[in-house]
Amino acid sequence: MEEILIEDIEEVMSEVDEELYYVDVHFKATGKIETFMTTDNTIKKGDMVVLESEFGGDFAFACNDAYTGSDKIDLKLIERKATDQDLKAYKKNEEDAKEALAFCKKQAAMLGLDMRLVMAEYTLDRTKLTFIYTADERVDFRELLKILAANFHCRIELRQIGARDKAKLVKGIGPCGRELCCGKFINDFDMVSINMAKNQLLALNIQKLSGHCGKLMCCLKYEDDAYKELRKGLPKLNAQIEYEGVLYRVTSMNVIARTCKLENRESAIYITLDDLLAKGIVKTPNKNKPEKKVKEDAKTEELPE
């Protein structure tokens, strides 16, 4: 057997890498963006491509031109750019999917199923039809599945998604005036907590802090690390501060502008956070209050005879 040297393997791998290109593609059914490999360097942003899957060809949209230099490995391959025939089939599948969605909604209502259907999608070769829905609880759709399979004569998938995934599919405009982040680029949703709003010193108004999905807005997480860093060493809101010999309470802070507001019953002043750190003295409340001690002593005091 001929011996294969490591140098020969590296040379072959380098030749393969030069022929491979990478394309980020967007799936309509899930709204996700994933990276695929291809040997076709003519794929441009906006092109439709066909991806071979175990259930038949899937359609996706190229998010950018084919590029090189990615360090990603074990990626699936793009089968080809969509042909005119593929585009015609895709448009017909879109129209038929709308009718299938209306039929599924009607059947679900007749069966009394508590599910809200969002969209339906055929694979390119029509071997699979996917229905996407939201529901508050687990839905027993076995009877519905039988009806759909008998009517459409293909593989049926009923996929339940959450409120955030629905917002990602439906898309929309956020309070910032731009397209929703979930519909634009977010693939996987990270945990967002109310503590992130507290770190940014935002008013805890759930309606204003919630997105289209009814959950806390994903953008609260973007600057959380920055606000944590900026707030290091600063007193908490409502903390008592002695500043230039006068006792105040910290009523507001702007860590970006580096300013804060100090108030007491007589006055209110605005100072910089640098002045606060340099001249302010944090007053910690005395936990051993004399009133409590007096009351405790009164309980043990013996009554005079």
**Residues 56, 57, 63, 68, CA torsion sign:** positive
Q: In what order do the strands lie in the sheet with 240-243?
A: 268-272, 259-263, 246-254, 240-243, 280-283
Q: Is 36 in contact with 77 (CB distance < 8 Å)? A: yes
In this prediction, residue 199 carries a pLDDT of: 87
Taking the C-alpha atoms of residue 65 and residue 288, their distance in angstroms, rounded to an integer, is 69
Read off the DSSP letter of residue 235: P
The ranges assigned to domains in the chain are 6-82, 88-161, 166-228, 240-283
122 Cβ neighbours under 8 A, 6+ residues apart:
93, 96, 97, 100, 128, 129, 130
The token pair at 241 is 């501060």
Phi-psi region of 89 (alpha: psi -120 to 50; beta: other; left: phi over 0): alpha
The token pair at 96 is 């038929």
Phi-psi region of 107 (alpha: psi -120 to 50; beta: other; left: phi over 0): alpha
* Residue of 180, 213, 169, 171 lying closest to 30 (CA atoms): 169
In this prediction, residue 71 carries a pLDDT of: 67
The radius of gyration of the chain from alpha carbons, rounded to an integer in Å, stands at 31
In this prediction, residue 70 carries a pLDDT of: 65
For residue 96, how far is the Cα from the chain centroid? 31
The token pair at 69 is 């230099």
> What pTM was estimated for this model as a whole?
0.67
214 Cβ neighbours under 8 A, 6+ residues apart:
163
**Which neighbouring-strand residues pair with 285?**
none
Q: Please tell me whether residue 186 adopts helix, strand or coil conformation.
A: coil
Tell me which CATH code domain 88-161 carries: 3.30.300
Tens-level pLDDT at each residue, the chain (305 residues): 444 444 443 443 444 445 788 888 888 767 778 888 888 889 999 898 988 665 456 888 888 898 887 666 667 888 889 889 988 998 999 999 999 999 999 999 999 999 999 999 998 888 899 999 999 889 999 999 999 999 999 999 999 998 888 888 888 888 888 888 888 788 778 889 999 998 888 888 888 899 888 889 988 998 899 999 998 889 988 899 999 999 999 999 999 899 999 999 999 999 999 999 989 888 876 555 444 333 333 333 333 33
Taking the C-alpha atoms of residue 63 and residue 102, their distance in angstroms, rounded to an integer, is 30
Helices assigned H by DSSP within the chain: 6-19, 84-110, 142-152, 163-170, 181-184, 194-199, 206-209, 224-230, 273-279, 290-300
Q: Is 233 in contact with 240 (CB distance < 8 Å)? A: no
